[in-house]
Each structure stands twice: as C-alpha cells, then as structure tokens.
Structure 1
Amino acid sequence: MAQTQYDESSFRVLKGLEPVRERPGMYTRTDSPCHIIQEVIDNAADEALAGFARSIQVRVARDGAITVADDGRGIPVGPHPVEKKPVVVLAYTVLHAGGKFDKKSGNSAYAFSGGLHGVGVAVTTALSTRVEVEIRREGKLHRIAFTDGGRQIGELEELGSCGRQTGTRVTVWPDGRYFDSPRVPMNELERLLRSKAVLLPGVQVSLEIEQADGGFKRQEWRYQDGLPGYLREMMAGIEMLVPVFATEKYAGEDEDFAPGEGAAWALGWFDGQQIGESYVNLIPTVAGGTHEAGMRAAVFEAVKSFIEHHSLLPKGVKLQQEDVCGRMSFVLSARLLDPQFQGQVKEKLNSREAVKLVSTMLQHPFEAWINQNVEHGKAIAELAIKQAQSRLKDAQKVEKKKSSGVAVLPGKLADCESSHITENELYLVEGDSAGGSAKLARNRETQAILPLRGKVQNAWEIDPGRLFANTEIHDISVAIGVDPHVADAADAVLANLRYGKIVIMADADVDGSHIQTLLLTLFLRHFPKLVAAGHVYVALPPLYRIDVPAQGKKRPARRFYALDDAELQSIRERLSKESFREDQLEIGRFKGLGEMQPAQLKETTMDPATRRVLPVSLGNTPSPDTLGLFNLLMGKGEASSRRAWMELKGNLVEADL
C-alpha cells in the first residue's frame, strides 16, 4: 500500500467562493441552474415584499443568459463601513454577507425575507461563467461584472445619470459544468414567477423568452385577487365541494409573536386530486414543513369543535387530522422573522415556532367562518365523517385477520386507537418513568408506547428458539406482530406488522446509547426484514434545554433544545450575536427522558412536526463488513479481539461519561 504524505502542506484552505465550486451540491440543486436564478429572483421579490418594487421582469436569452430586473431601491454601491469594499461586491462574492441578518438590532434592510442560511446570491456568482449587475440608485447608473466564479472584472463603474429611476438588473450565465443540464426548465421558472405574482398582489411579474427568429415570447402575471384566485385557477375543472375560504392575519405589537409575523391562506375542498402549495417569506417550500403542520392542526381543531358543537359525529367514530384535511387543497403563505429551513435550497421549513404561529393565526378566523356559514361547516364535517367511516371499515378488515392469532398483547403496552398500519408508531421507551411521560405526550390515535424494563438482553448469539424466554423480547415481538426470521425470509413475514414505524427512544447518555445498540442488535439479527423495509427508527431526544428571556414586546421568551455539547455551543454563539449575555441564559441538562415534562417530550421527540428521528437502513441485506463489526462488538467469544480493537480505536470515541 502506497504511503500518503501527511504534514503541514497537506492542508488546503478554501477561500472566497471556492467551497461552493468544490461542493456545489451542498449549496444548491445541481439538476439545473433553477435555484441559482431563484436566488436572484428572491432578492427582487424581497424588495417587492418590503413595498419598494412594483415590477419584476425576467428575460431568457437563446445563449442561456438570464436577466432579472426590478424597480426596487437598488443594491447599495458605497463602501461597507468595516470591509471597505462596495456593498454590491460583498453581496455577490462573499458568503454569509447580506442585508437580512440584523433583524434583532433593527439594522436589517428587510423585516421579512427568505431565510438566513447566509449564502444567497453569492452561490449564483460562484456557479456562473459571468454575472453582470446594473444598479440605478440615487440618480446614478452603476455597473459591475464578475467572471470565473467570482473574479471581479474591473472596478465598480459609474455610467451616468438615471434620473429618478431606481432598481437592479442582474444578468447570469450559468456554468454548465456544475449542472446536469445547463438550461433552466421553463415550466419550473414559469411556476416560480407566477407564484411570486400570487403572493405579491398588485406586483407585475413578466417572463420573456427569446425565440429562434430573435423575437421574444412574453408572459405576464398580476393577481389583484391574490391567493383565492390562484387556488381557483389551479383547481379549474374540478368540482368545488366547499367555497374557498381565504384571509390573512398578522401579529400586532401586543401579541406573543413579532409584529408582522403571521400568514395568509386560501383553503378549499374539492372532488378530485388535491393540490397544496406553501411559501415562507415568498420562498416556495415544496416539501412543506412546520407551517403546513400548523395549518392542518388549526383546521382539524376547528372542524372537530364544530362537529362536537352540532353533535354530528356518529357513535364509535373518531376523527383524525387526515379525515378533515385529506380532501383539502390550499395555498399558504407564512411570514416569519427568522425562518429556519432544512438545507440550502429551503424546500422545507423546520422552525418549530411556525406550528404555533400559523395555528394561532388561522384557527379562530376559520372557526368564525364555518360557524357563520353553517352549511359550509356541515359540508366539511360530512366529508370528514365519511372518510373516517371508510377508514374504520378498512381497519376492521385488517382486524379480522389479526383475531385468528393466539398471541395476547403485552399488558404494559399502551396501544394506539388507529388500525392504519402506515400511520401507527410504536415507541420502545427506556424505563417505566419515561414510559409514563411518553404516554401523556403521545397522540393516542397513532402512537403506542411499550416501556422496557432495564436493558434488553444481548440477542446477537441467542438461538431463535430461545428468544421468547426473555420477557422484553417476547413483548416486543408480540407488540409489533412479527415473529423472528432470517435475512432471506419471504416478505410475508411482515404480513401482520402492526406499526409502520418502530421508534427506539432512550436517554441521551451512555446508558441510552447502550440500550439503542442492544435493540438495534436484536432487530438486525432476528428481525432483519423490519430494518430492510425501513420500519426501524431512532429518536434523538435533547440533552440540554436553553431558556431565553424576552426582549421587550417584539421578541417573547424562547426555548431551545440541544442534542449535545456541540449544538449547545452553536446555540450559545447564535444568541451571543443577538446580544444575549451568558448569565441571561438558563441552561438545564436533562438527566433522562423521565425527567422531561410531557409537553417537552412531545415537542422534542414525539410530535412529527417538530421531533428529530433517524431512519435505520442497511439495504436489502446487511453487508459482511456490518455483520463482522456487530460480531466483533456483540459476540461473547470476541473479548480479546474487542479489547485489541478498543486499544486501537479507543481514542476516536466521543462519550459523555
């Protein structure tokens, strides 16, 4: 084996925009340049959202260049007070630079904008062969260009007077080396621009595409009617069962949220395929997120209350959220002061506070609407009840198959009420104390709790015929409805599976990690089809709780949770930038799951909208390397090999002892 040199010269420091060009997939989509163009469009949309732009124009040239122009304030061109470079240069060439950060201090250029990941339009520069920026500001026309992923071409030029015109025009030539296709899909670009027009009522959005003869095909969107008109247009040709309900609500000075935070929405029930679109500060969240969870929770609670008030629910029928929202189409636009997204492309909102924000803003107006329009409320209730009855009939068919078995469910199992396998979840919880908290925190409809006493037996070398001699393993097998089997067993071994997800939930300490390992050993060795089919998950409960005091009326008290010391330090640094002193923060360490209040356990570990769980996956069959490592670590006859391995690898462990 060739020797690899490892010394001071082995280290390389990536500067400027090099990190983006080295690993573009970490910062943007690489199937097409659509996202790097969206970053430019989002900047124009932020100007419109702030009330300074009334027009957004996009032009696509035959050579692949795309121009985005707005009539906003224009990017500042003067030198930055600290960096001493023109601000426009910083915006297009420096990661983590922009006018959207200082929201707490009041120095931000935008109260609401599309996220704070901090890379923004600099990614566009990094992954383009050329970027040209023209700025009309304070009566002067300025121009600057960048090439080769961020190299500035000359100095910022002043080209002359522009009168009273203001705005920014950006032309981008995407670099095809970084994308599967160098062309932006026109249908996706049209959909993006149309959505901006919908979310910015009165703002004119246009798209011009150069044709083969040199002319331009032009499309234009302007929605004075906003979200409800857009929803009706999307659902054209599909029978409307309940009229569209649309309004908006934003927080005032004396509410629990920052002034201006809130949402606008349009909801409708239709007979056909349902459509849902959501946005946060005009950014499309195609994968949904916590704002959608808040919307569905509010609609469900309002309809459930209406049904109970009018005594509409038949005996023996229990409603679930999907019964109410399954036939609902919607357009949701949320505004958050400090949105947190999953990944740089911002396809999913992760902000936990968005659940409460959207739910609070939507529930009371929707309750008022269905109570003022009783016929609409009863129509929605009838749809939900029919769906619930259909679901229960399907569950009864499954239940008949189960009744032929002789196994009796464990007495300590707190089972869920739903029989929908795909929705049901079984939490394997460490200890009776944590099990008690989990039972109070769970959703009784879909979440079951099985407390485990102590540590499960190491099952790596146990003969399958002797597994049920262990009470805990017996109870786990009977609860999930699957018998022990081998890796090449037929898929039919999962025919009686009772839960779509089996979630291992143990304390965030060494003992908890040991229990996780023992349970994973059990599933890998004796229930491999469960793992291969993606039914096994590991919950990530927090180790720390951080309470942050209120900052006047605009910023209420907040609470954060950290998985480990590294995440705790990251939160501390973030709060330090918000001008919080260390002595203002109250940091608590959880001794275990049983110490957590049910509400805390629900928010951090059990609520699908805000929890953190990891899927366990090994493919169809475990690899020989995986099986070998498990045998080394869990085999009783491997003590000497295990000791040698620990002496060799022990310095790599990061344990909280």
Structure 2
Amino acid sequence: MANDYSARHLSVLEGLEAVRKRPGMYIGTTDSRGLMHCLWEIIDNSVDEALGGFGDRIEIVLHPDDSVEVRDQGRGIPVDIEPKTGLSGIEVVMTKLHAGGKFGGGSYAASGGLHGVGASVVNALSERLDVWVDRGGKTHHMGFRRGEPGYFKDPASGATPDAEFVPFVTGSELAVVGKVAKGRTGTRIRYWADRQIFNKSATFTYEDLLVRARQTAFLVPGLSLVVRDERNPLEPHEETFRYGGGARDFVDFVATDTAITDTWEITGRGTYTETVPVLKANGHLESEEVERECIVDVALRWGTGYETETRSFVNIISTPKGGTHLAGFEQGLVKALRTQIAANARRLKLTGKDGVERIEKDDIMAGLTAVVTVRIPEPQFEGQTKEVLGTGPVRGIVAKVIDQELTAILTSTKRDTKAQASIVLEKVVAEMRARVAARKQKEISRRKNALETSSLPSKLADCRSNDVEQSELFIVEGDSALGTAKLARRSDYQALLPIRGKILNVQKASVTDMLHNVECASIIQVVGAGSGRTFDLEQARYGKIILMTDADVDGAHIRTLLLTLFFRYMRPLVDAGRVFAAVPPLHRVEVSGSARREKEYLYTYSERELQDTLRDLKRAGRKYKDDIQRYKGLGEMDADQLAETTMDPGKRTLRRITSADAAAAERVFELLMGNEVAPRRDFIVAGAASLDHSRIDA
C-alpha cells in the first residue's frame, strides 16, 4: 500500500470547491457562529463603503424563508468587464477567491474586508445567492447556486432556492432588470445558507445581529443600520441604530458602574513601513517597502467598580482576542500611570512597604471601560475570522499615542480634569493595596488545626468542621447577641462573627478606606477568599454566609450595609447563592395549656401575622397571655428561643440573597447608598405617599 502512493492519489481542489470541502478554514465553524460569520462578511463589505464616505444607510433583513438580505447605498460592485478574466466585476467578486478592491489599489484607505474571500466564501456556502447592483442608471442582476453563476426560473410566488436553476454554459450573462435614477448606487445581496454545509440547528441570531449593528453604528458615526426580523410575520421586529459620538458614546453605553472620571477621548496617528507584494500594471506582484499610516482612536473612563471592559477594533472589525493594538494600549496605559504615580508618591503616601510594591496592569485596569480602535490599510490578521491583529508596528504606535495623550490629561491644570486625575491615581494605588492585602489574607486565612495557631480575628467564634459545604458563618449584630448565639449554635459547623453596629458604607468609601475599616477587614479576612477582582470563590471558608441582625429598622440598615459590602467586593458569593439573611421573629405569644394540651409558644414575624394569629386563637377558643413579648433585638432571646427560631436548620427560615439582574441591583445600590443625594431624595419623596405609617418602628 505504501509503495502504491503516487501523484495520481493527489487531489487538486479548484476555485470554490476548497471552500465547500473545508468550510471551517474560512468561517471557523458550521454552526450558528459560522452562519453569523458569513453574514458579517457581507455586512462588513457594505460598512467599508460607508467608511469611505459612500452611503449612510445599511439594511439587514431576516426573511421568513430562512434567507437574509443586506442592502447598502455604496458605489455598487463594478459591473464592467475585468480584463484578466473577461468576467464582469460581480462574477469576479462572487466566484474568485482573493479577488476584490482591497489589495492596495487605492479603492479603500482602510477596510474590514481585506482577504478578498468574504463574498466568494458566502457564495460558495449558499444554496442560492442573488446580487442586484444599482449603477449607471440601471439595476444589474446575477444569480448563483452553490457558487455557480446562472439564472433561476422562479415561480410567481417569488424567489426560492428550490426553483429550477440554469447554469451559464458558453458565457456568463449580467442581466439588466430595471432602471434607477442616474445618481443612485448601491448593492443588494440576498442568500440562502446551504444546509448541506451548515448544521440543521444553525440559525441567524437576532440578538447577536443587534449587538453587531449597534457596535458598528458607534464606530461609524452618522451611519444608520436598520435590522428587521420578518421570520415571524405576525410579530416583525425592527430596530435602527445611529450615533454621532463615536467611541465616546460606545464607552458610555458599555459601562455599567458609576463613573469617577469623564469619558476621555484619545486620538493620534503614526506611520510605519512594511514590505508587501504590490500588484503592478503588468499583472505581476513585486515586493516593495511602503509607508503606512495608523490612526488611533481610543475612548476610556474609570468607574467605581473593579471589573474591566475593553473592546478592540480594527477598521470596525471586532477583535475579541485582541492583538498588537490592544497590547500597545495596555503598554501605554501602564507606562503613563506608573510614571504619574511615581511622581506623586508622597501625596499618595506610597512609603514603607507600599513603596516596594510595583503597580501591576491589573491594578490600573480595575474599573476601566475602554474602546480601542485603529484604522490601518491592509491589516494582518491571524486567520480569516479576524479575531487577532498581527501587524507588529501598530503596538508601538498605539503605546506612544496613549502614553503621550494620557499623560497630558493626567497632568492637566484644568480644575475638573486635575481632580479626576487625582481620583484615578488614588484608585490605582488602592487597588494595589487591595491586591497585596488579598495576597496576605490567602497566606494567613487557613483553618487552624492542632499544629498551627489561628491568625483570624480574636472575636471570631469559629466552628470545628473543615467541611466548607456544611459550615455556616453567622455575622451577628453586637456582643449581646453573640453571647446568646454562642449558646444557641451548633459549634461543630456554625461559626459566629460579631460586628459593632453599622459598618462603613462602602458604596461611598474608597477601597483604601474599606480595607482600613476594622469591621470590613475582619469580614473579608474571616471569609478568606479575598476581595474585589482578586476574590476567589473556591477559597471561601464557609458554605453559607448568614446575616443575623435585629428585626427592626436599625437591623435592616445594618443588613443593607453588609449586603453592599458583599455585592461590591465579594459578588461571586452573592451570585452563587451563598449569602442569606436570617429571619428572627418579632413577637412571642404564650398560649395557655389545658388538660388536653400543653402550654405552647407561637412566634410571628410581622404585625399582620401577629394579628392573624391572635384572631385564629380567639376563634379556636384558646387563651393566651396579654403581655405579648415584643423582641427589640436578638439579645432579648434566650438561647433555646434563638436556636429554635433563627439558627436551627430544621426550624429556621432563611432568605437567600440573589442578584439575578445584577445591573438592576447595581442601580438600586447606587440609588440607596451612593454619593448622589438628589436621586435618593426624589425616590423618598415619590414613595412617601404610599408609606404605611404602621410599619415605622417608632
């Protein structure tokens, strides 16, 4: 068998056959992602026209018959004859790999499509594709079936991929099917994806399409993108996107936390040279050293949070995996911030141990939202899916622009900008200190055993169990409640940590102030998983965190402050459903016994429940003591009562704290606990009329 292997065993795939044989090489996958990638290729061609200043409207329509249509107002695909092949421009673009106007011929200064395989690949992977071009006062049309040009004999009901197809045999024909106004130009493409290639379950995702259209509208100010979903004729959806602020508007849209700086826009440019093959007039490719220009457009701002959100683009093409432009952005950012922090070390109190610590990239990126865009001719991407930019010189240009322009902002003498720059430097230093503190916590916050002593807070009454899933940490309000809770708990798996009254409001405080607060620092240390961006859920020492506060207004306030701390700095615990609020009773009713029944104690948790319980007892003819006990705090309970009502897993009630809608929860926390007083006052005034005065604990 080995000796029989010869040249006749080799296969040569011609033209679009290679695309159909190995689609993954061109579009990544043959599921919904690959299907959407084909659509992006067609949309990007229309956007490239808009980038060049030709047309300001693009329409994308999802039809009920599983086809998709893209319309633009660009110059239109050329319809004249291409001299080398003798074919019309439409047929060359749609059937020839690596053919197009984006190979340095001057048709596009910067474009998203550059490999010349976008439209032809989509055509090869389509059961049917139709192209209409308005140009020179006429509408030209050509149809294709799986990449082969021809025409369809459509029924009266309309176009369908199942219609009889007649391929061109002797020569291709570009049909003129109508007239348009002489100045009107544009391209319309409608295609049906080939289900012989794509998975049966692959579908066009309307939500993904909206996201892509919105981001493109941000990046090309003044361009309108209309997305229409007609797949359900009874409930069609249509949305239009158009923005004028560019990357600045994009950052404001993406950011979810409260801003501590304005959205700063940084622009600049630089040149570089590279050796590339250039197509000469004689049709030959010759290597030449050409000068390129890189235009940098960055918008960024810092917020109160610690998550980082960066979006990077090259000629409006999203690069989700980054590349040289994103690396240059981070390099320039780190250099500028390190320099300014070093220059302000005394004001930032970077002395002693802090002075030894080096500012890391993660410290700077905490709370940063940024959109990084570069425009360059003929960018070098790693693969046809264009997820990573590989053009090397771009890194240095972007880094230099960011370093120079951001330094100018951070050293500005304008009052507002100077104040915001100071806040940014303080935030970065606070993040550094938080990272160092988290590292130290992980080193010391291990469970003690017989051979090691505990460095945890002395007021912690820890449990004996090492089983994280079973263990529970009760955060108790006050030392008086702690004494009762110690007698009521099951010490093998229930730990107690008392706090003194109302802790720091971390929604208003800085990270540094939070870490210096004794109560906050104790809670973070006892939980043992760090805080902020360094939080590691797997390192948490307890399976449940239970907030056990008094059942009054002050207790609710303390619980809210604790939840703010967990939501801002230990959110994974909340997201995992491991934070709970204990539900202690408000009243204790002593029901008199009789010959048949023993004396009984009933607990109620609200005034309404108490009245309902008393009414039921009267109806049943049962007597109870008139001096009903009203618990003002947990310390008024004895150990048996606290265990029975609040701590015993078999009898207690716990409220699980969730954040199903984290964005909405963030807005509520900011409204109730943030720095802005006016929105909070408006909220209180608006709700005053509906307040039930009987609920006020006066």
Q: TM-score, normalised by structure 1?
A: 0.57
Moved more, 90-99 or 169-178: 169-178
Match of 1:351 among 391, 402, 406: 391
For the residue of structure 2 that corresponds to 1:294, the secondary structure is helix
Aligned counterparts, 1:78-93, within 5 A: 78-93=80-95
Corresponding residue of 1:596:
none
Q: Conserved in 2, the CA contact under 8 Å of 1:115 and 1:339?
A: no
Aligned counterparts, 1:63-462, within 5 A: 63-101=65-103, 103=104, 107-114=105-112, 116-153=114-151, 154=168, 155-163=173-181, 164-180=183-199, 181-213=201-233, 216-236=236-256, 238-251=257-270, 258=291, 260-272=293-305, 273-311=307-345, 312=348, 313-314=350-351, 315-372=355-412, 373-396=417-440
Measured against aligned partners, the alpha-carbon deviations of 1:471-494 in whole angstroms (never above 9, x if no partner) come to xxxxxxxxxxxxxxxxxxxxxxxx
Q: Conserved in 2, the CA contact under 8 Å of 1:56 and 1:68?
A: yes
Q: Conserved in 1, the CA contact under 8 Å of 2:294 and 2:394?
A: no
Moved more, 387-396 or 80-89: 387-396
TM-aligned CA deviation for residue 210 of structure 1? 0.4
Taking the aligned partners of 1:61 and 1:246, their CA distance within structure 2 comes to 39
Aligned CA distance change for structure 1 residues 377 and 251 (closer, same or farther; 3 Å): same
Aligned CA distance change for structure 1 residues 324 and 171 (closer, same or farther; 3 Å): same
Taking the aligned partners of 1:82 and 1:224, their CA distance within structure 2 comes to 42
Q: 1:345 is matched by which residue type in structure 2? A: T
For the residue of structure 1 that corresponds to 2:69, the secondary structure is strand
For the residue of structure 1 that corresponds to 2:202, the secondary structure is coil
Corresponding residue of 2:495:
none
TM-aligned CA deviation for residue 219 of structure 1? 0.3
Q: 2:10 is matched by which residue type in structure 1? A: F
Q: 1:339 is matched by which residue type in structure 2? A: P
Taking the aligned partners of 1:115 and 1:151, their CA distance within structure 2 comes to 23
Are residues 1:18 and 2:38 paired? Answer: no
TM-aligned CA deviation for residue 326 of structure 1? 2.9
For the residue of structure 2 that corresponds to 1:177, the secondary structure is coil
For the residue of structure 2 that corresponds to 1:219, the secondary structure is strand
Q: Conserved in 2, the CA contact under 8 Å of 1:174 and 1:182?
A: no
Taking the aligned partners of 1:34 and 1:93, their CA distance within structure 2 comes to 20
Q: 2:338 is matched by which residue type in structure 1? A: K
Taking the aligned partners of 2:142 and 2:3, their CA distance within structure 1 comes to 44
Q: How big is the alpha-carbon RMSD for the aligned residues of Structure 1 and Structure 2?
A: 2.7
Measured against aligned partners, the alpha-carbon deviations of 1:229-261 in whole angstroms (never above 9, x if no partner) come to 12212224x21122211242234899x995652
Q: Conserved in 2, the CA contact under 8 Å of 1:92 and 1:150?
A: no
Taking the aligned partners of 1:56 and 1:247, their CA distance within structure 2 comes to 28
Unpaired runs of 5+ residues, structure 2, are 152-167, 274-288, 446-698
Taking the aligned partners of 2:219 and 2:425, their CA distance within structure 1 comes to 30
Unpaired runs of 5+ residues, structure 1, are 402-657
For the residue of structure 2 that corresponds to 1:318, the secondary structure is coil
Taking the aligned partners of 1:92 and 1:214, their CA distance within structure 2 comes to 34
Taking the aligned partners of 2:234 and 2:150, their CA distance within structure 1 comes to 31
Measured against aligned partners, the alpha-carbon deviations of 1:472-524 in whole angstroms (never above 9, x if no partner) come to xxxxxxxxxxxxxxxxxxxxxxxxxxxxxxxxxxxxxxxxxxxxxxxxxxxxx
Taking the aligned partners of 2:27 and 2:250, their CA distance within structure 1 comes to 28
Taking the aligned partners of 2:364 and 2:229, their CA distance within structure 1 comes to 42
Taking the aligned partners of 1:115 and 1:361, their CA distance within structure 2 comes to 26
Q: Conserved in 2, the CA contact under 8 Å of 1:54 and 1:203?
A: yes
- The percent of aligned pairs where both chains have the same amino acid is 31
Corresponding residue of 1:420:
none
Taking the aligned partners of 2:8 and 2:428, their CA distance within structure 1 comes to 67
Corresponding residue of 1:31:
31
Q: Conserved in 1, the CA contact under 8 Å of 2:59 and 2:225?
A: yes
TM-aligned CA deviation for residue 112 of structure 1? 0.7
Q: Conserved in 1, the CA contact under 8 Å of 2:94 and 2:147?
A: no
TM-aligned CA deviation for residue 392 of structure 1? 2.5
Q: 1:21 is matched by which residue type in structure 2? A: R
Taking the aligned partners of 1:344 and 1:366, their CA distance within structure 2 comes to 34
TM-aligned CA deviation for residue 360 of structure 1? 2.1
Q: Conserved in 2, the CA contact under 8 Å of 1:115 and 1:340?
A: no
Corresponding residue of 2:164:
none
TM-aligned CA deviation for residue 108 of structure 1? 3.0
TM-aligned CA deviation for residue 123 of structure 1? 0.9
Taking the aligned partners of 1:115 and 1:382, their CA distance within structure 2 comes to 43
For the residue of structure 1 that corresponds to 2:261, the secondary structure is strand
Measured against aligned partners, the alpha-carbon deviations of 1:122-145 in whole angstroms (never above 9, x if no partner) come to 110111101111101122211111
Measured against aligned partners, the alpha-carbon deviations of 1:357-410 in whole angstroms (never above 9, x if no partner) come to 211222222211222222122211112111222223344467789xxxxxxxxx
TM-aligned CA deviation for residue 267 of structure 1? 0.6
Taking the aligned partners of 1:257 and 1:80, their CA distance within structure 2 comes to 26
Aligned CA distance change for structure 1 residues 282 and 232 (closer, same or farther; 3 Å): same
TM-aligned CA deviation for residue 218 of structure 1? 1.1
Taking the aligned partners of 1:318 and 1:212, their CA distance within structure 2 comes to 57
For the residue of structure 1 that corresponds to 2:260, the secondary structure is strand
Moved more, 79-88 or 303-312: 303-312
TM-aligned CA deviation for residue 3 of structure 1? 8.1
For the residue of structure 1 that corresponds to 2:259, the secondary structure is strand
Aligned CA distance change for structure 1 residues 50 and 370 (closer, same or farther; 3 Å): same
For the residue of structure 2 that corresponds to 1:171, the secondary structure is strand
Aligned CA distance change for structure 1 residues 259 and 5 (closer, same or farther; 3 Å): closer
Aligned CA distance change for structure 1 residues 216 and 397 (closer, same or farther; 3 Å): closer
Q: Conserved in 2, the CA contact under 8 Å of 1:57 and 1:205?
A: yes
Corresponding residue of 2:591:
none
Aligned CA distance change for structure 1 residues 7 and 251 (closer, same or farther; 3 Å): closer
Task: Tell me the matched-pair count.
Answer: 397
Aligned CA distance change for structure 1 residues 100 and 17 (closer, same or farther; 3 Å): same
Q: Conserved in 1, the CA contact under 8 Å of 2:292 and 2:376?
A: no
Q: Conserved in 2, the CA contact under 8 Å of 1:258 and 1:337?
A: no
Q: 1:162 is matched by which residue type in structure 2? A: V
Are residues 1:56 and 2:58 paired? Answer: yes
Taking the aligned partners of 2:258 and 2:137, their CA distance within structure 1 comes to 53
Taking the aligned partners of 1:386 and 1:59, their CA distance within structure 2 comes to 49
Taking the aligned partners of 1:119 and 1:175, their CA distance within structure 2 comes to 17
Aligned CA distance change for structure 1 residues 202 and 296 (closer, same or farther; 3 Å): same
TM-aligned CA deviation for residue 214 of structure 1? 5.5
Aligned CA distance change for structure 1 residues 362 and 257 (closer, same or farther; 3 Å): farther
TM-aligned CA deviation for residue 186 of structure 1? 1.4
Taking the aligned partners of 1:279 and 1:257, their CA distance within structure 2 comes to 23
Taking the aligned partners of 2:320 and 2:418, their CA distance within structure 1 comes to 33
For the residue of structure 2 that corresponds to 1:27, the secondary structure is helix
Q: Conserved in 2, the CA contact under 8 Å of 1:262 and 1:357?
A: no
Largest Rg, 1 or 2: 2
Taking the aligned partners of 2:401 and 2:86, their CA distance within structure 1 comes to 44
Aligned CA distance change for structure 1 residues 5 and 151 (closer, same or farther; 3 Å): farther
Q: 2:222 is matched by which residue type in structure 1? A: G
